[in-house]
Chains A and B, each alone.
Chain A
Amino acid sequence: MEATHAKSVTVKYDMDVVRWFTIAAIIFGVVGTFIGVYVASELAWPFLNFDIAEITFGRLRPLHTNAVIFAFGGNVLFATGYYIVQRTGATKLWSNKLAWFHFWGWQTIIVCAVITLPLGLSQGKEYAELPWWVDIMIAVVWLSYGLNYVMTNAIRTTSHMYVSNWFTMGMIVMITYLHVVNSMAIPVDWATSYSIYSGVQDAMIQWWWGHNAVGFYLTGGFLGIMYYFIPKQSGRPVFSYRLSVLHFWTLSFGYVWLGAHHLQYTALPDWTGSLGAAISLAMIIPSWGGAMNGMMTLSGAWDKLRTDYILRFLVTAMAFYAMSTFDGPVMAIKSVNALSHYTDWTVGHVHAGALGWMSMISFGALYHMVKKLWNTEMYSDRLVNVHFWIALVGATTYVVAMWVSGIMQGLMWRDYDEYGTLTYTFVESVSAMHPYYVMRAVGGAIFNLGTWIMLFNVVMTIRQASATRATNPVAARA
């Protein structure tokens, strides 16, 4: 693999657009998690809905999910994607202009989401709430990204495509399939549209979309980040190339099947949910293989964790990845799903992935890139360390609260007293959740505090770099 970087010194990369995506990612990390804290608080203290339609839970929750997935996650993926594809291919972007179109197009979509979702323009599908005309914008911008990405791979000057680029390409193809098929709708007017599918078919298509947005966008894309930034930050080659080959193909083939496990015991034919459950269990193998591959990349360099705070983020992310890819298959087992479905356990599982894995690997990669992109050291390494511990405490608090409340909900709902009647009314389970909803909001707030620290640290780093560049023209070209 080292040979692929041989020519990179002679290439001038298109890094400006990467810098902008990086900054956007950091800002939306703050915004997305902040809205998350707010909606979590609304469930703990309903007065926070303030009788304002635009900020009620039902309208803000989609804004939170869209902000963290598409605004934060998206900008992270595009920043790292364009960074990795140029460096591993030793080439400029195929089209710098198209990348800028992608940047401004994507931010425009985010602005549209911020306006339309609080106004109640929802298609009623989770993570695909945005109105039909925004769906068209997403398709156009996404395809511009796909074209640019594939063509940049095509004009690379290295012999092989690096493993990160396989994952990103897989994500681009799969998200295109998912977005196009799931968003098929007939508009009634500019604000409202209805899915062309109904009932059973719509449910299956929605969760094929829902789980693979997780599987390819939030996992595949971020595994691309893992395969580049862990070796780079630790200064060690990927532990096993063959394991990465296995990881990529099994994950790409297998993840697609998992959506059906969201629909066990529903009106969907039983075979579909069972098939989803079986493949979900099998997915422990590629997921843990990949997690081991990331972890073991550090063999011989574990001591670096004492001094390298960025590496701490990256490695902790792998631990959370391993944990949530164990949690997931367990929840897909039908008898466990009977308890966990419809409860906060699902929310806990999602956030173990989103806060522990996806965000942690993002923070690590973003810090690494900021140093390279602005050719400087961090303003404060200590603050990176502070951010790490805050993020870890926040994520853990959140996830533990939701696990406990989820399992408790599930047990309360199915509990019978000695007379054979239900022990608890539904609303008793609601009030029993209150302490956990408070704990969740606190955990989220702690996590959000970390993103503010990161924003501050990065702003100061960039200011520091600009000051140096003004006095040192050589550094400016880096």
Chain B
Amino acid sequence: MSDHDKIYSTKFQDKVERSTLLMFIMTALTVAVGGIVEIVPLFYLPNTAMTGGDGTYNGTQHKDLQGNVISMDKIVWNPATSEHKSMDDWQPGDGVRPYKPLELAGRQVFIREGCFLCHSQMIRPFRDEKDRYGHYSIAEESMYDHTYQWGSKRTGPDIARVGGKYSDEWHRKHLKYPRDVVPESVMPNFFFLENAKVDVEKTTKTMAVMTKMPFNPVPKTIYSAEYIAAAPEALKDKTEMDAVIAFLQSLGNHVKFEEGVNYRD
């Protein structure tokens, strides 16, 4: 028996090492398992903000302090049941809604400029984060965020609930020249956003794309044909600066949270 034929491990391992095909198949199977176990259930288990498109959320149930089920329509805005029927009537606290055209345009600029690399949008359930940023984030709040923007690093503060915290004028000054407002800041100057007009065509196309998503699309009852058709009017003469500010001001005030209620289990 030559050295080639001696088996140093197990018969099966030896067989696998001798066959390229078998090695390929075994490897392909081995590396598939973890992803399947961790990812697939997120599409059908509760508390993942995955909607079946019919207003149900895989049995997700939030309960108030008395143990009564909080209607999902209170968490995610539903024009059919809400007293505020249109995007323009929507009020903070009515529940998670998709972005308005100007906010959506701002979000595109936000992604383009890589803001998510330094600003997270995911508040964790800790005392200090509650004091600093507000109520912890819940899954439903980013359900319309195609290309999620939770971030992984806080070189700057979290902005998940920055909406309404500062005035538009503060944001404008801060975005243009951050160190004029916050001397210690290391953020780049984004004054150039004032020089560029919002891309109207891109934004209306984006709205249409958002209704076509296979998972968690924006309902066509909200981004209706008329609503999309009216978008260019809302975007007219707006600068990218206006758009980013609108986006920032829209963050974090959609859901009315009740003290003491566990929204994550």
Contact = CB atoms under 8 A, between A and B. Distances in A.
Interface in B114-164: 114-118, 120, 122, 124-128, 131-132, 137-158
Interface stretch (B61-69, B80-88, B186-194): B186-194
B23 A426 contact: no
A408 to B, nearest CB: 13
Contact of B117 (A58, A121, A181): A58
B147 A58 contact: no
A422 B117 contact: no
Contacts of B127: 414
B20 A161 contact: yes
A48 to B, nearest CB: 9
Interface in A187-210: 187-189, 192, 194-206, 208
B2 to A, nearest CB: 8
Given A347-B153, A427-B185, A272 B128 contact: no
A57 B143 CA distance: 28
A154 interface: yes
A122 B111 CA distance: 7
B152 A269 contact: no
Nearest to A263: B150
Contacts of A100: none
A3 B3 contact: yes
Interface string A136-176: 00000000000000100110100111000010011001100
A14 B214 CA distance: 46
Nearest to A194: B146
B170 interface: no
A153, A203, A260, A276: most-surrounded residue (chain B CB, <10 A): A203
B35 A256 contact: yes
B213 interface: yes
B146 A202 contact: yes
B146 A413 contact: no
A265 B45 CA distance: 18
A57 B34 contact: no
Interface string A398-421: 000000000001000111100001
Interface stretch (A288-296, A338-346, A375-383): A338-346
Interface stretch (A68-76, A247-255, A450-458, A465-473): A247-255
B60 to A, nearest CB: 10
Contacts of B115: 58
B23 A42 contact: no
Interface stretch (B25-33, B225-233, B245-253): B25-33
Nearest to A337: B124
Contacts of B91: none
A422 B35 contact: no
B11 interface: no
B206 A431 contact: no
A253 B29 CA distance: 9
Nearest to B13: A245
Interface centre among A59, A122, A197, A416 (most CB of B within 10 A): A197
B166 interface: no
A169 B19 CA distance: 13
B236 interface: no
Given A202-B145, A252-B30, A346 B153 contact: yes
Most buried by B among A252, A279, A416: A252
A53 B190 CA distance: 8
B112 A122 contact: yes
B148 A58 contact: no
Interface string A36-80: 000000111010010101001111011000000000000000000
A192 B206 contact: yes
Interface in A273-313: 275-276, 279
B253 to A, nearest CB: 17
B23 A188 contact: no
B148 A338 contact: no
Interface string B26-70: 011011111101110011010111100000000000000000000
A325 B21 CA distance: 31
Q: How large is the interface on B (under 10, 10 to 19, 20 to 34, 35 or more residues)?
A: 35 or more
Contacts of A153: 20, 23
A415 B189 CA distance: 30
A253 B31 contact: yes
Contact of B186 (A46, A249, A279, A338): A46
A170 B215 contact: no
Contacts of A154: 20-21
A163 to B, nearest CB: 9
A59 B30 contact: no
Interface string A10-49: 0000000000000000000000000000000011101001
A166 B145 contact: no
B216 A198 contact: yes
Interface string B183-226: 01111111110000000011001100110111110000000000
A59 B137 CA distance: 27
A198 B42 contact: no
B141 A421 contact: no
Contacts of B138: 267
Contact of A430 (B39, B186, B188, B265): B186
A177 interface: yes
A262 interface: yes
A242 interface: yes
A124 B149 contact: yes
A56 B191 contact: no
B108 interface: yes
B146 A200 contact: no
B215 A201 contact: yes
A125 interface: yes
Nearest to B142: A199
B256 interface: no
Nearest to B2: A3
A218 B40 CA distance: 25
Given A200-B49, A272-B42, 17 more contacts: A49-B189, A58-B113, A161-B18, A186-B209, A197-B215, A198-B216, A201-B43, A253-B34, A255-B34, A257-B34, A257-B38, A262-B152, A266-B137, A267-B137, A267-B264, A268-B139, A414-B126
Interface of B: 2-4, 8-9, 13-14, 17-18, 20-21, 23-24, 27-28, 30-35, 37-39, 42-43, 45, 47-50, 108, 111-118, 120, 122, 124-128, 131-132, 137-158, 179, 182, 184-192, 201-202, 205-206, 209-210, 212-216, 264-265
Interface of A: 3, 42-44, 46, 49, 51, 53, 56-59, 61-62, 120-126, 150, 153-154, 156, 159-161, 166, 169-170, 173-174, 177, 181, 185-189, 192, 194-206, 208, 216, 241-242, 245, 249, 252-257, 259-260, 262-263, 265-270, 272, 275-276, 279, 338, 341-343, 346-347, 409, 413-416, 421-422, 426-428, 430-431, 437
